[in-house]
């Protein structure tokens, strides 16, 4: 007999594939990547750079949208449609529900970006445009970013509606990218040690999605060290644990 987490994960994946948004995003993303491979107006010698840039950005953008679409409707969708009562009446613990939803979402997003990554590596191979392995490593790191984003969204979804979940998740995502600008600004306006510590705390404690960005390395044919991959995986695992833990605790407190 399968564990409740596996059952919920399978259910979450089925639900994700049933929504028309996800296949539409995948087809649209693949279409953009494919069409960019045949654009010939770029300068000689930089076509492959442009192609890799476009492909990595499309994977990032469509992956982010797919994550938001899937996750923001998973838990809060169940609560809003009141199907959560039916689910919780079964012998399932609440943490299993949250973890199962997370696992299903992570796999669904991985499957969604896989065709886009396949097209990217295929054209890198046929155009001799660098290492296919580095592109796969870059895509893996993007997938890690989407899993972290899923955990953030699930954490928020345990107490918020689907619209609020989507909005707050986008906010966390944007703030994570603006962190560099904020810390630089803090350094500029004050040399006070308290301000410096605050900047450091922001840097170390808020999610840093820039860690998952290896676009430069992929595009400019540089190596992404395996040690970096390992450490970033650890970082993603720590963030996922944090947000899922907070989400589970809030969800446990909630009365249905």
Minimum Å distance from CB 211 to another protein? 5
Non-local CB neighbours of 22 within 8 Å, separated by 6+ positions: 16, 66, 69, 70, 108, 112
19 vs 49, which CB is nearer to another protein? Answer: 49
Q: d(Cα 87, Cα 188) in Å, to the nearest integer? A: 52
Please identify, using beta-carbon distances, which residue of 50 and 198 lies nearer to another protein. 50
Q: How far apart are CB 178 and another protein at their closest, in Å?
A: 5
The tokens describing 139, both together, are 């895509």
Instruction: Give kind and range of the element (H or E) at residue 176.
Output: helix 162-189
Of 145, 147, 168, the residue nearest 156 (C-alpha): 168
CB nearer to another protein: pick between 2 and 43: 43
Smallest separation, CB 83 to another protein (Å): 28
Taking the C-alpha atoms of residue 72 and residue 169, their distance in angstroms, rounded to an integer, is 9
121 or 214: CB nearest another protein: 214
Question: Alpha-carbon distance 149 to 202, whole Å?
Answer: 18
Of 61 and 114, CB closest to another protein:
61
Residue ranges in contact with another protein by CB under 8 A: 42-43, 46, 49-50, 53-54, 56-57, 60-61, 174, 177-181, 184-185, 188, 203-205, 207-211, 213-217, 219-220, 222-225, 227-228, 231-232, 234-235, 237-239, 241-242, 245-246, 249
**How many C-beta atoms surround the C-beta of residue 217 within 10 A?**
19
Tell how far CA 71 is from the center of its chain: 10
Closest CA to 52 of 210, 214, 211, 215: 215
Kindly state the smallest distance separating residue 56's Cβ from another protein, in Å.
Answer: 7
166 vs 188: CA distance, rounded Å: 33
Residue 80 CB, nearest approach to another protein (Å):
26
* Distance in angstroms (rounded) separating the CA atoms of residues 144 and 150: 10
CB 150 → another protein: shortest distance, Å?
16
By beta-carbon proximity to another protein, the closer residue of 130 and 207 is: 207
Q: Round to whole Å and give the CA distance between 95 and 73.
A: 18
Q: Taking the complex as a whole, how short is the minimal distance between the CB of residue 17 and another protein, in angstroms? A: 26
Q: Per this entry, what is the length of the chain?
A: 256
Residue number, 73 or 121, with CB nearest to another protein: 121
């Amino acid at each position: 007999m399968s564990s409740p987490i596996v059952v919920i994960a399978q259910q979450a994946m089925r639900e994700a594939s049933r929504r028309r948004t996800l296949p539409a995003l995948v087809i649209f993303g693949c279409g953009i990547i494919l069409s960019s491979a045949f654009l010939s107006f770029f300068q000689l010698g930089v076509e492959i750079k442009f192609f890799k840039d476009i492909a990595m950005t499309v994977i990032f953008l469509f992956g982010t949208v797919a994550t938001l679409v899937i996750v923001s409707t998973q838990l809060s969708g169940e609560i809003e449609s009141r199907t959560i009562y039916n689910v919780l009446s079964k012998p399932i613990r609440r943490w299993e529900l949250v973890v199962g939803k997370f696992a299903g979402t992570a796999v669904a997003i991985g499957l969604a970006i896989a065709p886009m990554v396949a097209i990217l590596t295929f054209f890198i191979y046929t155009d001799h445009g660098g290492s296919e392995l580095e592109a796969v490593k870059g895509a893996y790191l993007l997938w890690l970013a989407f899993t972290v984003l899923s955990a953030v969204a699930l954490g928020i979804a345990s107490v918020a509606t689907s619209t609020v979940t989507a909005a707050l998740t986008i906010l966390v995502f944007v703030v994570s990218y603006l962190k560099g600008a904020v810390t630089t600004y803090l350094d500029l306006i004050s040399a006070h040690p308290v301000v410096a510590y605050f900047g450091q705390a922001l840097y170390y404690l808020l999610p840093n999605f820039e860690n998952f960005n290896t676009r430069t390395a992929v595009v400019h044919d540089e190596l992404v060290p395996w040690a970096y991959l390992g450490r970033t995986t650890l970082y993603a695992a720590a963030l996922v644990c944090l947000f899922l833990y907070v989400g589970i605790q809030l969800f446990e407190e909630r009365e249905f």
